Structure 1
Amino acid sequence: MRFNIKHEIRGRIRIHIFQKRMTYQQADILQYYLENTDGVITANVYDKTCDATISYKGDRKELLRKLQCFRYENVKVPTAVLDSSGRELNEQYKEKLVNKVIFHYARKFMLPMPFSAIYTGVVSAKYIWKGLKTLWQRKIEVPVLDATAISVSMIRGDFGTAGSVMFLLGVGELLEEWTHKKSVGDLARTMSLNVGKVWLRTEDEQEVLTDADVIKPGDCVVVHMGNVIPFDGTVLEGEAMVNQASLTGESVPVRRVSGNTVYAGTVVEEGEVVFTVSSVGGSSRYEKIAAMIEDTEKLKSGLESKAEHLADRLVPYTLGGTGLVYLLTRNATKALAVLMVDFSCALKLAMPISVLSAIREANRYKITVKGGKFLEAVAEADTIVFDKTGTLTKAKPTVAKVISFGRHSEDEMLRLAACMEEHFPHSMAKAVVNAAKQKGLDHEEMHSKVEYIVAHGISTFVNDHKTVIGSSHFVFEDEKCKIPQGMEEKFEQIPEEYSHLYLAIDGELAAVICIEDPLREEAPEVIRRLKDAGFTKVVMMTGDSERTAAAVAKRVGVDEYYSEVLPGDKARFVDKEKAAGRKVVMLGDGINDSPALSAADAGIAVSEGAQIAREVADITIGIDDLYSLLALKYISDELMKRIRCNYRTIVGFNTGLIILGVAGILQPTTSALLHNTSTLLIGMRSMKNLLPE
């Protein structure tokens, strides 16, 4: 790609691409490429000017080299990303807004009064009909108020006021619809699947790791416990409990057996299934998520729901106040001043826009939030619980050494461990698989059906020999494995600074795999700043030994830590804290964290973690550092401040307008103009970013 640098400061660069015209699709492809380039923090592509701004960390020369290597045709973009892009939507709504403003003022100044009055009467029919329908349903809500204000203005012959009210209402509706669609679209896209590899069942009953792109309808795909179901399909064999919360909102997993339908994006919590693929496109998944986000009231924050309900409850009081002022003053102008000003429009417009804009802003930091309710929970939380591995420590641990305790070589033990671990998504499992791959230790499937015991380990048979791998508790206590005779001293000398995976064959320890799990450099500072931001209790929970847990807890500065915990222990701790009246946030990345993530007021998953954790969690952090957790906290806090500020501004300003109108200082036309203008200004202010650039 040919480009020049238009502007540059440390960590941020703006480039201009040399091409005559950039299509929406090209802009989306470049955006996808930049966002998935190592070192890029955020990126924005502007199709009209053929420009792009990139915030980055790391080597500038490497970034420029990757930009030079970019070719549209060489980038494989998931179909759902292109099909559901919000770029064209933005342009459509900008055009609608500009056209609406131009048409309104052109009609106002150029159309003769009689024709303008006829036009106003025709347009008003929509609002009056909406108000009548609301009354027919025995509700006195915002449409009734709008219809009354427009009708009274027209009866009095004040077509200018009626037209202005409808224009401002129309602009408000357009802005709300635009922001809502864009925010829902952004959220649904980030929740859409980006599956790279799947296990394909071949005709000779072998499982082969295959690119998801080559899968076609009719293929048989195997999904093991803890993995996401990548496509829609029908179960061929096996039995599993499937978590469908990401599509249906159900918290209880459903049983799926032969003949049942399974859906892309749901997760196998227990068991294993082989299913026949019926659809490989991502659009159905996107549509289901978008529908769930739009329809699910429970995802709204408490303040947002309260404001919307208050808006409708205030309508009868506004109508009653109008009637009372007329009875007391016998002055229709003063009564109309009350009618033209109501609290409900601004409350109903500003609050949802504030929340949806905050969700959209969180996406800029690669944070996916499934609803305003969870931003409110983060803002109010006083307890935060961290899983250690993959959260406080690096998401990509590495194998430091393999210690063999039998006749097998270290490489052979690593090959065997990788063969077992590759089926299960956990950061330590990935470390084993990657270490084997780096050494070129490729393997055919050597084992029979693998059984995964959550938070413990894996059990299978290899060449008729029972083979287990997992934690010390699982291998030595549950499976009763022994250390080979004469190897006790060697076992005692295993380095303590590493996390350990124990591999045993036929009840005897065969190898110990030492995993280097380095602490994130930013962890101590992030925890200190979280405490400054309002968290009064910071807790670390881990399955590691007491000695390892104590060392990490001291370095990062948590208030409490718990070692050798099981999944149920984490969930019980969260429930205990909630029972004590505390709001709890849980941060984790593994299959074993999913019960606690579900139990917390806001469950946060790390994007590099297990797919089940990401699906169960309410929020997903997509950047490989903990500073994004601070961004989430600050966005949540600022959102709550904005909602409260909007509430005070709306009530104060509109109350002032009513008082001035009743006093005869403001005419109804002026009151309506000021009220609607303030509503739009508050709505537009609610769309602004909460955090500075």
Structure 2
Amino acid sequence: MKFQIKHEIKGRIRFHVVQKKQMTCEQADILLYYLENMEGVESVKVYDRTADAVVCYKADADGLVRRNIIKGIQKFVYEKVEVPDGIIENSGRNLNREFQEKMIGQIMAHYARKILLPAPFRAVYTGVKSIGYIWKGIRTLAQRKLEVPVLDATAIGVSILRGNYDTASSVMFLLGIGELLEDWTHKKSVGDLARIMSLNVEKVWLKTEDGEVLVPYSQIKQGDSIVVHMGNVIPFDGIVSAGEAMVNQASLTGESMPVRKADQASVYAGTVVEEGEITVEVKAVGGSGRYDKIVTMIEDSQKLKSGLEGKAEHLADKLVPYTLAGTGLVYLATRNATKAIAVLMVDFSCALKLAMPISVLSAIREASQHNVTVKGGKYMEAVAEADTIVFDKTGTLTKAEPTVAEVVPFGENNADEMLRMAACMEEHFPHSMAKAVVDAALKKELDHEEMHSKVQYVVAHGISTTIEGKTAIIGSYHFVFEDENCKIPEGEEAKFEALPEEYSHLYLALEGTLAAVICIEDPLREEAADVIKKLKKAGITKVVMMTGDSERTAAAIAKRVGVDEYYSEVLPEDKANFITKEKEKGRKVMMIGDGINDSPALSAASVGIAVSDGAEIAKEIADITISAESLYEVVVLKQLSNALLKRIHTNYRSIVAINSSLIVLGVAGVLAPATSALCHNVSTLLISLKSMKNLLP
């Protein structure tokens, strides 16, 4: 590809793509995807109208990253880049261009009519256009409602009856621009949210004649049979051909209660198996259908509306009768139609209805820029009001990538063979500990092909199966020794007591006898202590840590991170019960977790937050998802939510102050009705545009 470097500083290059035709939206998205996936690239912006791209990268001393980026751009060819399904179709770039062109068209057409059309023609055009607004107001009245359309229709109708065609035209123009801005912001925010929520599956269990094989998502074709285990997402639309499961369909229906799925039942991409295991015959592949379903679910549900947003809409409609009554009273008191219309031209309702939703949707969009997915405005309000936060330990306060430090075999077992066996069992279940075992086996090139029969997962305890005719279980101390009554091999009690205390332990038993202990190194996140300090500064008064680990491990972690309370050796129901009791005391509780065992607590909390590389069911149930890269995202979320509430309250005060002033000036005769209407609509637009700005610097 031919290109010119237009500007460059260390760590940032702006270049222009040299091509004969204007860059299309599709080409811009392909280039964006290509550049974002280059090694060392931190962020990319592609401007399709100017065919420019800005690349920010990690600058190194010898300039190797820069040279590789330049070489990559030189080799770039649109047709040779394989972009995953749904990325181009749902990028939102076409939407932005469409609304930009609509807005420019409306503004140019309005002022062209004002300058070029003679007054009589303008009057006819304004009269014809007003019919739509007046008819909408009449329909609202026919439904026995006094809402904003009635006010708009009255203001426009009275202006036309008095011959103030310019005033009516200005009011309709500004209302049209406001509606366009609201529609644009809403669709963009919903689109951004849906893209983040869209399915992101890398590998799938394919059922073959030889058993289950883990294959890339892209290799699955229509008609293939895939196996979905407990806690995993269903990656494709299909029909259940074997097995039975309880499936959580909240991502598509908004209903959190799981639905039973058995033979010949239809299942949908993005839903999650909460209990059981099913084999699914794939009926549709590709991501666009999943995206469309999410958009529909978001737009049809009330999840996007915060309590304050709903109150604003309700208040806006309640104010309409008072505005109409105020208009009548001013006319009766002054017998001056101009002063009465000044009240009619200025109302609080449209500003409230426009600015509040834009504030909420813009905040959701801004959160996504910080790798935080918020499923609705009411959850940001809940975060702002939260005074208590509960952390799961593993994969949350500790790093999301624990590693196997040591495998301690018991009896005559071999360490590598025990690790291979553990990986074979653990690879079916999405948890950071399980992933550590599987990764350790891969590093040692231990082939852990399917040897076992059906795997049973016991939440917060462990896994049981049969391998080569022997009962095999792996999991917590409580599960292995207390629930399953396994024994330590005779004469190896001292070896068991000498296990390293600094590690978390997974116990593997065969035929009721301990076969190995897998020591997991689960280092604390470097930022954990600082995050807790910042959360307290942002308004959190109580920080709690809950873990299934031993008292010794929990106490050490709690002391290092500075939590107010901690609880060890807890079960999923213990976490949920604790949160319920806190809420009964009047506290607003946030819960952060990543595992299947965190799901009940995430549901019980005022707002549940899941770590993105945790169990699919945790992400499904959670109201908010953060990336696994840094806990600072929780602080950003709290700061954003606090700032959103502050902005909403500021908007309330601004709307009341500005519109009250305009009404007083209109009644006093200082401002003409047309000027009042112009000032009112301009102030509404300015408040709305300000609401679209980022909340954080």
Same fold (TM over 0.5): yes
Distance 2:213 2:506 in 1: 25
Give the conservation status (yes or no) of the 8 Å contact 1:459–1:467.
yes
Displacement after TM superposition at 1:51 (Å): 3.5
Distance 2:496 2:2 in 1: 59
Aligned pair partner of 1:424 in 410, 414, 429: 429
Unaligned runs of 5+ in 1: none
Give the conservation status (yes or no) of the 8 Å contact 2:232–2:429.
yes
Displacement after TM superposition at 1:408 (Å): 2.4
Distance 1:533 1:8 in 2: 38
Aligned pair partner of 1:296 in 301, 323, 333: 301
Distance 2:34 2:386 in 1: 36
Taking a change above 3 Å as real, the CA distance of residues 343 and 631 of structure 1, as seen in their structure-2 partners, is same
Displacement after TM superposition at 1:129 (Å): 1.2
1:316 aligned partner, one-letter code: P
Aligned pair partner of 2:172 in 163, 166, 184: 166
Give the conservation status (yes or no) of the 8 Å contact 2:472–2:509.
yes
2:66 aligned partner, one-letter code: L
Give the conservation status (yes or no) of the 8 Å contact 2:58–2:65.
no
- Spell out, residue by residue over 1:278-320, the C-alpha distance to the aligned partner (whole angstroms, 9 max, x if none): 1112222111111111121244111111001100110111111
Distance 2:380 2:7 in 1: 35
Aligned pairs (5 A) from 1:256-271:
256-271=261-276
1:414 aligned partner, one-letter code: L
Displacement after TM superposition at 1:23 (Å): 2.9
Counterpart position of 2:658? 653
Counterpart position of 1:120? 126
Answer yes or no: is 1:628 the counterpart of 2:633: yes
When normalised by structure 1's length, the TM-score is: 0.97
Give the conservation status (yes or no) of the 8 Å contact 1:42–1:365.
no
Counterpart position of 1:604? 609
Answer yes or no: is 1:27 the counterpart of 2:28: yes
Give the conservation status (yes or no) of the 8 Å contact 1:499–1:544.
yes
Aligned pair partner of 1:107 in 94, 113, 117: 113
Displacement after TM superposition at 1:26 (Å): 3.1
- Spell out, residue by residue over 1:170-203, the C-alpha distance to the aligned partner (whole angstroms, 9 max, x if none): 000110000000000000010000111111111x
Aligned pair partner of 1:64 in 50, 63, 66: 66
Aligned pairs (5 A) from 1:447-596:
447-596=452-601
- Spell out, residue by residue over 1:62-83, the C-alpha distance to the aligned partner (whole angstroms, 9 max, x if none): 6536634464556543312222
Counterpart position of 2:206? 200
Secondary structure of the 1:460 match is strand
Answer yes or no: is 1:344 the counterpart of 2:349: yes
Distance 1:268 1:303 in 2: 34
Displacement after TM superposition at 1:439 (Å): 1.1
Distance 1:529 1:376 in 2: 19
Counterpart position of 1:44? 45
- Spell out, residue by residue over 1:18-66, the C-alpha distance to the aligned partner (whole angstroms, 9 max, x if none): 4425432233234345556676654433223344445566858565366
Distance 2:276 2:64 in 1: 44
Give the conservation status (yes or no) of the 8 Å contact 1:197–1:209.
yes
Counterpart position of 1:387? 392
Displacement after TM superposition at 1:592 (Å): 0.6
Give the conservation status (yes or no) of the 8 Å contact 1:3–1:15.
no
Taking a change above 3 Å as real, the CA distance of residues 249 and 688 of structure 1, as seen in their structure-2 partners, is same
Secondary structure of the 2:677 match is helix
Distance 1:473 1:7 in 2: 62
Secondary structure of the 1:81 match is coil
Distance 2:81 2:553 in 1: 43
- Spell out, residue by residue over 1:252-278, the C-alpha distance to the aligned partner (whole angstroms, 9 max, x if none): 111111121111101001000111111
Taking a change above 3 Å as real, the CA distance of residues 197 and 76 of structure 1, as seen in their structure-2 partners, is farther
Counterpart position of 1:15? 14
Give the conservation status (yes or no) of the 8 Å contact 1:14–1:51.
no
Counterpart position of 2:161? 155
Moved more, 204-213 or 316-325: 204-213
Distance 2:600 2:39 in 1: 32
Aligned pairs (5 A) from 1:76-475:
76-202=82-208, 204=209, 206-475=211-480
- Spell out, residue by residue over 1:648-667, the C-alpha distance to the aligned partner (whole angstroms, 9 max, x if none): 10011001101111111111
Give the conservation status (yes or no) of the 8 Å contact 1:483–1:508.
yes
Give the conservation status (yes or no) of the 8 Å contact 2:186–2:358.
yes
Secondary structure of the 1:157 match is coil
Give the conservation status (yes or no) of the 8 Å contact 2:400–2:628.
no
Taking a change above 3 Å as real, the CA distance of residues 150 and 377 of structure 1, as seen in their structure-2 partners, is same
Taking a change above 3 Å as real, the CA distance of residues 484 and 623 of structure 1, as seen in their structure-2 partners, is closer
Give the conservation status (yes or no) of the 8 Å contact 1:5–1:13.
no
Displacement after TM superposition at 1:2 (Å): 7.1
- Spell out, residue by residue over 1:141-161, the C-alpha distance to the aligned partner (whole angstroms, 9 max, x if none): 000100110000000000000
1:119 aligned partner, one-letter code: Y
Taking a change above 3 Å as real, the CA distance of residues 19 and 652 of structure 1, as seen in their structure-2 partners, is same
- Spell out, residue by residue over 1:382-438, the C-alpha distance to the aligned partner (whole angstroms, 9 max, x if none): 001111111111111111111111322211111111100000000010111111111
1:434 aligned partner, one-letter code: D
Distance 2:488 2:111 in 1: 87
Give the conservation status (yes or no) of the 8 Å contact 1:307–1:347.
yes
Distance 2:119 2:140 in 1: 31
Distance 2:405 2:475 in 1: 17
Identity of aligned residues (%): 69
Give the conservation status (yes or no) of the 8 Å contact 2:476–2:506.
yes
1:64 aligned partner, one-letter code: R
Secondary structure of the 1:491 match is helix
Give the conservation status (yes or no) of the 8 Å contact 1:78–1:194.
no
Secondary structure of the 1:83 match is coil
Give the conservation status (yes or no) of the 8 Å contact 1:243–1:251.
yes
Give the conservation status (yes or no) of the 8 Å contact 1:549–1:563.
yes
Distance 1:528 1:111 in 2: 64
Distance 2:90 2:615 in 1: 25
Secondary structure of the 2:86 match is helix
Distance 1:35 1:686 in 2: 29
Distance 2:175 2:108 in 1: 16
- Spell out, residue by residue over 1:461-500, the C-alpha distance to the aligned partner (whole angstroms, 9 max, x if none): 0000000001111111111111111111111111111111
Distance 2:371 2:107 in 1: 35
2:548 aligned partner, one-letter code: G
Give the conservation status (yes or no) of the 8 Å contact 2:16–2:52.
yes
Distance 1:135 1:450 in 2: 63
When normalised by structure 2's length, the TM-score is: 0.96
Alignment size in residue pairs: 690
1:578 aligned partner, one-letter code: K
Secondary structure of the 2:87 match is helix
Taking a change above 3 Å as real, the CA distance of residues 34 and 228 of structure 1, as seen in their structure-2 partners, is farther
